[in-house]
Every structure is written in C-alpha cells, then in structure tokens.
Amino acid sequence: MINPVETQKERILLVESDPQINELIAQQTLRPLGYQVEVVESASSAINDIDKIAPDLIIADLCLPEVSGKDLLVALTSQGIDVPVIVITPRGRESDALQAFRLGAVDFLTHPIREFEVVNVVEDTLYQRRKRDELHSYSRQLDQNKEELEKRIRDLTEIFSIGKLTPSIANQQLLYERIIHVALLITQADAAWMLTLDIKRKKYILQACLNADEAIQSKLNLPYEDGLSSLVAVSGQFISLHGDALRPFELSELVEAALIVPIKQKEEVSGMLVVVRKTPQPFSKDQHAMLEMVAEYSSILLENSRHYQKLEVRLSYLQQSGIYATIDSDLKNDLLRQAGMELRNPIKSLMDNLDVLSNQAERRFNLKQSDAIIAIEEEADILMDIADSMVRIQQGDTSKSLEDIDLNQVVREVVNRSQAIAQVSGIAIRLEIPPQPSIVTVFASQITKVIEGLVSNALKYNSPKAQIMIRIEKKDDCTMLMIKDQGNGVDESLIERLFDKKSGLLGEEARRFGGIGISLPMMKEIIAAHGGEIWVESGYGKGFTVFFTLPRKLTHSD
C-alpha cells in the first residue's frame, strides 16, 4: 500500500462500470493520497453530472456499456469542456488508446490496473495541468500588467499634453477645460471641475466643469462652495470621501464619492481640482497620485498664464506705439538707398543710347537703333517709377495706423501701374484673385511697398514675352500672396542669404531686390511685424517665386 501524502485539492471523476476497478483506483489508490474521487458507472451519468462535480481530471474506461468512452470524449469536446481525460483500455489494445488521443485524451492505463501506474499517470497529468494553469495565470497577469502600463503611459501622455497649450488671454478657458478633461480621464471619474482663486474677492471661482450636474454648471464663472472645498482651501490638504463619510456635506446630494486636490503656488492654495463619482466607489491611491501630478502641472501652467497675460498687454502696447514707427523709418531709408543705387545704371544707359540716336532723328531706324529706342523707353519708365516712389515718400504718404484693406484691390492697383513696363517687354501679368475681398488688417503703405517691390523685380528679371503669375489664396488662418516670374532665378544655396542684411551678396543676386522696390530683408521685417511669413522658391533656370502670408480677417462671405 502506498503511504498517504499531503492532501490534494484536485477532484477526480472516475467513469467505470467494473466495481473491482473502481475499488482499486478510487478506494485503494487515490483517496488515501488526498484526492477527491467521484465515481459514476456510465458515460451518460458523467455527462449529466459533470457541471455539478466540476472535476480537475477524468479517468474513463473505453469499454463502457451503452455510450463508450470514445463517445464521452466526443461529447466533452462538443460541449467545450476542457478537462484532461485518462482512458483505460485492455492490454494489447493500445491502438484504441491511440484513437482516444486523437479525440482529446491525454494519457492511458491498461488492464490489469496497477496502483503505482495509476499514481504515476494521475500525478503526471495533474502536474501538467497545474503547470498549464500557472502559465495561463501568468499570461493573464502579464496581459493585465501590460494594460495597466499602457494606461499609465496614456495618462502621463495626457498630463504632459497640457503643457502644449501656450497660456494666453485667448486660450485661458481652453487651458482650464483641457486640465479637467485630463483629470476626468486619469481618475475614471463621472464628472470633474476646477476652481481658481479670485485674489480681489478672496473667493474661489468655478472656471470649468465637465459632465457636471446642472446645479453645478449654473455656477460657472461664479464663486463656488460645496462644504468640502473650503476645508481643502484652509488645510492645503487633499480630501477623499465616499459613501456615509460624504453624507454631512452638501456635495452628497449630487454624488457618492469625491476627491479634491489643491493647486498650490508658493504654499498657498490658488485653485482646486475636483473629481466625483455617482457611486460610492472610492478613488484609488494611484488615481489620487495621478491627480496630484495634474495639480502640480496645472500650478506651473496657471502661473505661466498670468505672466503671459501681462506680457501680451505690454507687447500689444509696444507694437502700437513703437515697432511700426521704426519700420516706417527703416522703410524710407531703405527705399531711398535702393533708389539711389539704381539711378546710376538707368541714367548711364540712357546717355549711351542717346548718343546712338543723336544724329539720326530724321532717318529710318535700323535694327540697332530700334533696340536702342526700346531700351531707352524701358529705362525711362523705371526712372519715372523710381521718381514717383521717392516723391510719395518725401510727401509723407505713409500710414501711421493699422487699417482693414482689401488685398485683392491693392494688387490690382499695383498691377495697373506696372502694365506700361510689362507691355514694353511683351510680358503678360496673370492674376488669380478670389471673387470675394481678401481683408487683412495692416499698415497699408508698408504692405503696398512690399507688393510694388515684388512686382517691379518680377518685371525686371523676367524673360521677355514671358508671363508673371500673381495669385491670392485664402487659407484657414491667413491670406497668402504668390508672385512668380519665368526668369533665370537664383541658386538655391543663396535663397536664405537673400533675407540677410549682412549677407555680403554681390552681382545680380545683390541687385535682385533693388529697383523701385525694397530689399528682401526689409520685406521680411515688414511681413514678420504683421504676424506673417515670407519665403522664396527658386533655382537657376526655374524662375523666381516669392510667397508671403498675412493673418486673415474673417468676413461674412467666409
């Protein structure tokens, strides 16, 4: 007889019609070892009682009356019952055991039954089952840990995303709403809201709420008190209550669980984050820790927001009073300097061509003379345009304040003034302008000079009888103007240097933005001061394209 060992908890179902075999396996072998053995004499009884018995292991004879052991295996599989089965077969009929394996059996015993064989097969099978269960449990734990880790990463990502909002007067409310959205998400609460301290009134104001009851929503932008917030404000410590502990407070009329975390600045409570649940499920330590992290992050953002507001007010004042005045002064100097440089070449060319015509006024012009006359006309037009620009500056024709203008109309006027020069060279100017006005708020004289300069240089450096494309497009938050010529262009490596006053460029690249226009560095300064951007696309043999954008003013037609 085998000595009993430590009692096992596994339950074994023995399906056997032979009483002697039942006695040997159940009574003499397995029960003394601590196994709980249930015996049934037919496969039908096993199928009917299996849910009630809930065995960890089944031992079944293949030679059962009525329904065979093989049929039992088929029935178990069809019902999705995942219990290891050991089959019993007469010695010499091991082929039956092989068929049973194909139907789901895991091991077999042979007649005559021997105790040690039963013990070995049963314990080996149960050992394999335990290992499998341990692996499944470990796998489930890994999956759970993975889900928790992924959630933690998502929560931290959400918390850090708050910092992507640049605090300003315009998006202060957006900042509040983003903070409580993150608070709601990481605590898995039903509702959340945020309070900030009004220093003048010395009261906490409800700044934003999410999924809150109507009674709370009605207090937005007003002083707020729920019985708990004042305790947090005084103590500077968090409060987490649920169920009966929440009953003495006013908030219990609306929710069953609440967590309130202070937002501190220099050890003073400048605000509070509140998350609540409609059920008495308490908030976990992990959720509390994450909410405190949001509160700390919010403290930094709110402090930065106050600094931003002060800076925005000061910057706005400086822009109105000083920046644009400086640009106007620079613009005049730049125009006069460029005009002075460009006057030398047209005047010299004019004198040279006049020498050719001096003694041939009444004769028929030959080809060279005709070309000379055309050249004189081109240079004369340029000189006239330069003179006009200088006169307008000397007369003080520059705007001193921002105004709404239609960029479409400004472009049309500049193009109309440039048509004479374009016709001399056979250049066509193609306009693509939206049917509705393109309204921008700018210093009109400065933007007009930028457009004049771009059109003038496109005409000057375009190929004869080619085309200049001018297009205005309305984007989501800006209006873009493009001027493209079909000239030789400039090397791509020089494009960035065109915007630099100290670039030291010589030759054609240096003179590219001369003429009646203003230099690219000056254009960049003007466009940037208006909150826009300017850039160039070019390359030798690819023409020259300039783009600039200005902040767009929405109209009813938009």
Structure tokens at 315: 């910057």
Using CB atoms within 10 Å of the CB of residue 364, give its burial: 0 to 12 exposed, 13 to 18 middle, 19+ buried.
exposed
Domain boundaries, the chain: 11-134, 164-312, 320-551
Q: What is the pLDDT of residues 265-315, one digit of tens each?
A: 877 888 999 999 999 999 998 888 888 888 887 887 777 766 666 666 666
- What pLDDT sits at residue 256? 92
Which two three-digit tokens encode residue 468? Answer: 């200049």
pLDDT at 328 (0 to 100) = 63
How big is the CA angle at 417 (ends 414 and 419), to the nearest 5 degrees?
A: 105
Burial 135-154 (b: 16+ CB within 10 A, else e): eeeeeeeeeeeeeeeeeeee
Distances (CA, A) of 132 to 76, 139, 498: 19, 10, 72
Is the four-CA dihedral 172, 177, 180, 185 of positive or negative sign?
negative
**Minimum mean pLDDT among 36-50, 360-374, 524-538: which range?**
360-374
Q: In the predicted model, what is the mean pLDDT of residues 485-513?
A: 68
What is the DSSP code (8-state) at residue 284? P
pLDDT tens digits, 306-365: 666 666 666 665 555 555 656 666 666 666 556 555 555 665 566 566 555 555 545 555
Q: Does 377 have pLDDT greater than 60?
A: no
CATH class of the domain whose range is 164-312? alpha beta
Q: Report the C-alpha gap between 461 and 471 in whole angstroms.
A: 19
Residue 353 has a pLDDT of 63
Asked if residue 40 lies in contact with residue 65, where contact means CB atoms within 8 angstroms, the answer is no
Residue 7, sorted as left (phi over 0), alpha (psi -120 to 50) or beta, turns out to be: beta
Q: How far apart are CA 455 and CA 523, in angstroms?
A: 13
| Rounded CA separation 453/448 (Å) | 9
Tens of pLDDT along 20-69? 998 999 899 999 998 999 999 888 888 888 889 889 999 999 888 888 88
With CA atoms as reference, report the closest residue to 287 among 271, 275, 272, 299: 275
Query: Which tokens belong to 123?
Result: 């314990």
Give CA–CA dist 424/429, Å, rounded.
13
CATH topology (fold) of 320-551: Heat Shock Protein 90 (3.30.565)
Q: What does the angle CA 102 – CA 106 – CA 112 come to, to the nearest 5 degrees?
A: 105
Provide the 3-class DSSP secondary structure of residue 117: helix
- How far is 376 from 351, CA to CA, in rounded Å? 9
For position 5, what pLDDT does the model report?
Answer: 44
Across 477-493, average pLDDT: 89
Tell which CATH architecture fits domain 11-134. Answer: 3-Layer(aba) Sandwich (3.40)
- Helix, strand, coil shares, percent, the chain, to 5: 50, 20, 30
CB 390 within 8 A of CB 335: yes
Two tokens, residue 312: 């925005």
Mean pLDDT of 547-558: 76
The token pair at 124 is: 């080996």
Question: Which range (358-367, 421-430, 443-452) has the least confidence?
Answer: 358-367
